[in-house]
């Protein structure tokens, strides 16, 4: 018959379910491709068919990016520039004037001011009790002085007033006070003699005295000897 002839011509295979088998193979391949894509997809990669982000999510991302940019801008500034920016922002939002933020310099003190307030001609053990950082600066300066000979200020000898201080390193190197006259206003180098003087002075409201050595020329010695 016609059916057996068709079977013989097609090699004895029936083609009634050929379309269904093809569809099954294609769906199986599709699932296999999907599994391979899932395996090869990296964790940080998004899916190919992503949904449109919500408006709130977009605004949060924009705010986060703006905060990162603001932080990077602040980090790029130095401390003084950040201070000026914060003060300017405060005045802009809350009102006021820049003069309100200027501190008073009436109580400012330099290192020289602290040395004058805390300096001592001679430091004793009891003077080092209750040391403050101002006193420590004065003591550190005192330790750097050379205390073999003194430098004398005899400019007010007619008033019976004298000033004595220890020599600095530069004066020791130049010979001032040992190879030159120890008078602050005299530079003579001939006829120098060594003298020991009992120096009485008032320091921080307390009377003290110390035996000091001087190297003076004859003229400066006369100014000193007739008033002590």
SS in 3 state form for 119-153?
CCCCCCHHHHCCCCHHHHHHHHHHHCCEEEEEEEE
Specify whether 136 is located in the same domain as 155.
no
User: pLDDT at position 152, please?
Assistant: 93
pTM for the structure as a whole:
0.54
Specify whether 215 is located in the same domain as 174.
yes
Specify whether 183 is located in the same domain as 214.
yes
Q: Flag whether 220 is in a domain.
A: yes
Q: Flag whether 33 is in a domain.
A: no
pLDDT tens digits, one per residue of 163-205: 999 999 999 999 999 999 999 999 899 999 999 989 889 998 8
User: pLDDT at position 227, please?
Assistant: 56
Q: Flag whether 114 is in a domain.
A: yes
User: pLDDT at position 8, please?
Assistant: 45
Specify whether 155 is located in the same domain as 198.
yes
User: pLDDT at position 146, please?
Assistant: 95
Burial readout 125-145 (b: 16 or more C-beta within 10 A, e: otherwise): eebeeeeeeebeebbeebeee
User: pLDDT at position 143, please?
Assistant: 94
Specify whether 176 is located in the same domain as 216.
yes
User: pLDDT at position 34, please?
Assistant: 79
Q: Flag whether 180 is in a domain.
A: yes
Specify whether 185 is located in the same domain as 137.
no
3-state secondary structure of 185: coil
Specify whether 72 is located in the same domain as 139.
no
Q: Flag whether 30 is in a domain.
A: no
Whether the Cβ atoms of residue 171 and residue 177 lie closer than 8 Å to each other: yes
User: pLDDT at position 10, please?
Assistant: 47
Q: Flag whether 206 is in a domain.
A: yes
Q: Flag whether 38 is in a domain.
A: no
Whether the Cβ atoms of residue 198 and residue 211 lie closer than 8 Å to each other: yes
Among residues 101, 123, 154, the one where a domain terminates is: 101
Of 137, 197, 143, nearest in space to 169 by CA: 143
Q: Flag whether 20 is in a domain.
A: no
Segments of the chain scoring below 50 in pLDDT: 1-11, 13, 15-18
User: pLDDT at position 180, please?
Assistant: 94
Of 136, 150, 162, nearest in space to 214 by CA: 150
Specify whether 153 is located in the same domain as 186.
yes
Domain that holds residue 202: 145-226
- Name the domain count of the chain: 3
Distance from C-alpha of 24 to C-alpha of 19, rounded to nearest angstrom? 9
User: pLDDT at position 2, please?
Assistant: 47
């Amino acid at each position: 018959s016609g059916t057996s002839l068709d079977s013989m011509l097609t090699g004895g295979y029936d083609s009634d379910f050929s379309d269904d088998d093809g569809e099954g193979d294609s769906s199986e391949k599709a699932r296999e491709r999907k599994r391979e894509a899932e395996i090869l997809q990296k964790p940080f990669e998004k899916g190919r068919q992503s949904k449109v982000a919500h408006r709130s999510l977009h605004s949060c991302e924009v705010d986060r990016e703006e905060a990162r940019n603001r932080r990077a801008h602040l980090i790029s500034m130095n401390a003084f520039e950040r201070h000026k920016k914060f003060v300017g922002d405060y005045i802009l939002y809350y009102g006021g004037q820049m003069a309100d933020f200027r501190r008073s310099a009436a109580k400012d003190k330099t290192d020289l001011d602290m040395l004058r307030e805390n300096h001592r001609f001679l430091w004793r053990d009891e003077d080092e009790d209750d040391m403050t950082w101002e006193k420590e600066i004065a003591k550190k300066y005192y330790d750097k002085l050379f205390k073999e000979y003194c430098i004398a200020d005899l400019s007010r000898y007619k008033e019976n007033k004298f000033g004595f201080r220890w020599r600095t390193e530069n004066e020791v190197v130049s010979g001032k006070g040992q190879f030159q006259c120890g008078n602050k206003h005299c530079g003579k180098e001939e006829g120098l003699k060594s003298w020991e003087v009992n120096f009485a002075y008032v320091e921080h409201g307390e009377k003290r005295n110390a035996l000091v050595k001087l190297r003076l020329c004859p003229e400066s010695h006369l100014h000193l000897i007739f008033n002590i």
